[in-house]
Chain A
């Protein structure tokens, strides 16, 4: 069975693994213990103790925080109950004018701000840009991912979560 060390997975996650090794991992059968190695790597990376239950972004995690399961930024900022859309508790910056769009696309034809805007969802503490939505003005903010956390741990990982 394929398996990789924590060091290899750590390098893979940070993009530091040499390409020939990455390519081999992409072509090989997948390693069944990847999830736990991956979470262990991420757990070492963060500065807080809450247990990471599921990564859902580049710097965004669902964690067990006391009795609660919350969405948390890598900096430690909590966006609240993981079942609610974390974006609603974020900070937002909207690019809905030609000048604001041209800041990101300085040498290109730009989208029409009457048809489309760019919404930047930012951690209010550390300023990390967690997600960008390109949407028509007035389009409701999308809830990207609602994992079936209990089903995942119970049926797929065979390690049921403790009830909260």
Chain B
């Protein structure tokens, strides 16, 4: 029985009706039986596969229209098809962040009376990059077009690209110095930007006059519109094939099936219970130029997460106890939190590519109001919300992995993603023109280890499942810097039985420009914003920038002297300091400093992933190979992994198994003699806590968390046996 035919009712009524049916029946749109699936499962699957194929094909076509290396090289795009009420039916591959963000955007227009004004007509194009309406951050610009069939709205097609330039206070897409929304750049707030399948000229002019590099944004707009039109026509073709009533019913059955599949997958892969973890983010901008006096220059963020899996298979994530929103660009909206969750969930539980909004309905996020996860002020900036999202969803990956491990699916255990700071830049290009850009080679950090093997080297970020650093030659076409090195960072993977994936460092010569501003976003420091698992260590903290201003590199090259191609492995005396003359600078945390010019050298390291398992169980043979290939230093092999290496006849490192066994036995003994019972440690540490003997940023972190969360405060006091009225003093 086709119980929900295409309706002529107003969209708002249809949306409210759909939500009422979900509340009453517990099933999406009141679909308690998958009637069409039961009647003809083959037709059901064929149509679903076709829809997915239409999305994938539309995205691939559109990427060729884009001018942005972020979209063309790195694949920063996703497209999707939605119901009239704005629920995702099918998505392409790509940045799976936006399963529910575009959904929020469409629903927002419906709830805000867009049917009357500005009206929703065939051929209209709506765009949005306002995270409080429904996206993650300013550079995530989305376009949707309605799909009409004989005058009735039967769905939406939507597309998102991550823009490389947003026109904010600092150049690039992720506007790192924004402290309120008014400095984040160009906002398009659920705006009708086109009619009759064409972008409005006045909208394009606004983009051209408000962006440093409008070619990226404008051609991405055209790419998105083309993909939406392509999907719209494909859906209309499908409706011709199966009939309108069948389409209206099956598109909703796909979503209800998605909800049931998510619950079933959770029951299949995990164990019910409560999972807990935490991570941290260090925001260090004290004394840096351009920093506005609104917010705290330094801030330590705690990100605790409690995940509950109930026996019906529902996953709930609770962020209680985390920090308040702040005057910086790293806040996030509930839409952004959805985005972080979905790009993670699709990789770990919905990897067959059939995810849709049904999965969202089988999960829940608890986002305390007033925290960075759910600001109670819509003026806050969210331009770099990935800064906190990435560490947070790295925790989610480890929590899920604990469930996979307990259930026996060890091949799915994954220590998780890491933050991968991005370079933003602008000024005068190598062609003498104004420019601005985000450098997306950060889309290839090291991954966390697995429970059965090492992490991926230079090949993973959580936010883009098709992680890719892009070709050097393509990036060099887009910026006034040339590469003099792109190298593995030794020891950048966290130590463990299986080590985390290693990251890379790029070294550039600034070239053919008199003014280049360089900044980094999502750049934590002073902390571990990742972790290991089951005894594995976290990967190192973010590495500092090593820079040479007014370098003598051209003279050295002329004299055929050796050059530095990376900072090297001595943090106290880099290869740049050893080999290159000029003014040496070492910068901690986000790179916010004076502009550069031709002849300067700039280095930037990405992050590796956390390790898995006890480091003393590491395979010595693999370690020797790691040393040979530059993934690990000899020093770390001996000191951290306890592996004694000797050289073979050709000078290659080989493990001395007997000496290794002896060294590891000694290390294990030392480990035990250095350790104390936890109860003793707690008793000793309690006086430090009671005396609040911490750095100012640590005290402030506790004071903020305790003020915002009674639960956090109570658990903190109980753990340390403190008075019920204990509070932490903060400046």
Contacts and interface: CB of A to CB of B under 8 A. Distances in A.
Interface of A: 9, 12-13, 15, 17, 19, 22, 25-26, 30, 32, 34-35, 37-39, 54-60, 87-94, 103-112, 114-116, 118, 120-122, 124, 127-149, 151-152, 155-156
Given A54-B271, A122-B675, A148-B311, A128 B408 contact: no
Contact of B613 (A32, A58, A105): A58
Interface stretch (B416-424, B470-478, B490-498): B490-498
A115 B277 contact: no
Contacts of B491: 105-108
Nearest to A14: B452
Interface of B: 267-269, 271-280, 282, 300, 302, 304, 311, 402, 405-412, 451-453, 490-492, 495, 497-498, 526-528, 531-538, 540-544, 569-571, 588, 612-616, 633, 635-636, 639-640, 668-669, 671-672, 674-679, 681-682, 685, 688-689, 694-695, 697-698, 701-702, 715-716, 719-720
Contacts of B300: 115, 136
B408 A146 contact: no
A148 B531 CA distance: 25
Contacts of B612: 58
Contacts of B689: 138
A92 B402 CA distance: 21
Given A89-B678, A112-B695, A134-B527, 13 more contacts: A22-B452, A56-B402, A91-B678, A92-B676, A108-B541, A122-B671, A134-B528, A142-B304, A143-B276, A145-B275, A146-B274, A156-B271, A156-B272
Nearest to A27: B351
Contacts of A109: 540-544, 571, 588
A34 B492 CA distance: 34
A15 B452 contact: yes
A162 B268 CA distance: 23
Contact of B695 (A13, A115, A146, A152): A115
A13 B451 CA distance: 8
Nearest to A100: B674
Given A107-B571, A142-B278, A15 B492 contact: no
B694 A145 contact: no
Interface-central residue, A22, A30, A37, A89, by most chain B CB under 10 Å? A30
B408 A106 contact: no
Contact of B679 (A39, A88, A143, A151): A88
Nearest to A144: B276
A3 to B, nearest CB: 13
Contact of B535 (A34, A128, A151): A128
B538 A145 contact: no
A92 B678 contact: yes
Given A26-B412, A114-B698, A129-B616, A138 B685 contact: yes
A141 B304 CA distance: 12
Contact of A90 (B272, B280, B678): B678
Contact of A13 (B311, B410, B682): B410
B282 A115 contact: yes
B677 to A, nearest CB: 6
B698 A106 contact: no
A140 B635 contact: no
B540 to A, nearest CB: 4
Contacts of A128: 535, 614
Nearest to B304: A142
Contacts, number: 246
Contacts of A124: 672, 675, 677
A90 B402 CA distance: 19
Interface-central residue, B269, B402, B544, B570, by most chain A CB under 10 Å? B402
B411 A25 contact: yes
A26 B409 CA distance: 9
B674 A93 contact: yes
B406 to A, nearest CB: 5
A47 B679 CA distance: 28
B268 to A, nearest CB: 6
A105 B540 contact: yes
A89 to B, nearest CB: 7
Contacts of A32: 268
A96 to B, nearest CB: 10
Interface-central residue, B269, B544, B694, B715, by most chain A CB under 10 Å? B694
Nearest to A87: B678
A59 B616 CA distance: 13
A19 B450 CA distance: 13
Contacts of B639: 103, 106
B490 A139 contact: no
B274 A145 contact: yes
A102 B24 CA distance: 58
A92 B681 CA distance: 8
A127 B674 CA distance: 11
A138 B541 contact: no
Contacts of A147: 271-273, 406
Nearest to A154: B311
B271 A107 contact: no
Contacts of A60: 534
Contacts of A17: 452
Contact of B526 (A22, A92, A115, A131): A115
Contacts of B492: 108
Interface-central residue, B272, B277, B406, B694, by most chain A CB under 10 Å? B406
B645 to A, nearest CB: 15
Given A57-B534, A115-B527, A104 B671 contact: no
Contacts of A122: 671-672, 675
Nearest to B403: A145
A19 B571 CA distance: 36
B396 to A, nearest CB: 14
Given A93-B671, A138-B685, A144 B640 contact: no
Contact of A152 (B271, B277, B495): B271
A75 to B, nearest CB: 12
Contact of A111 (B269, B402, B526): B526
B538 A132 contact: yes
Nearest to B638: A106
B452 A136 contact: no
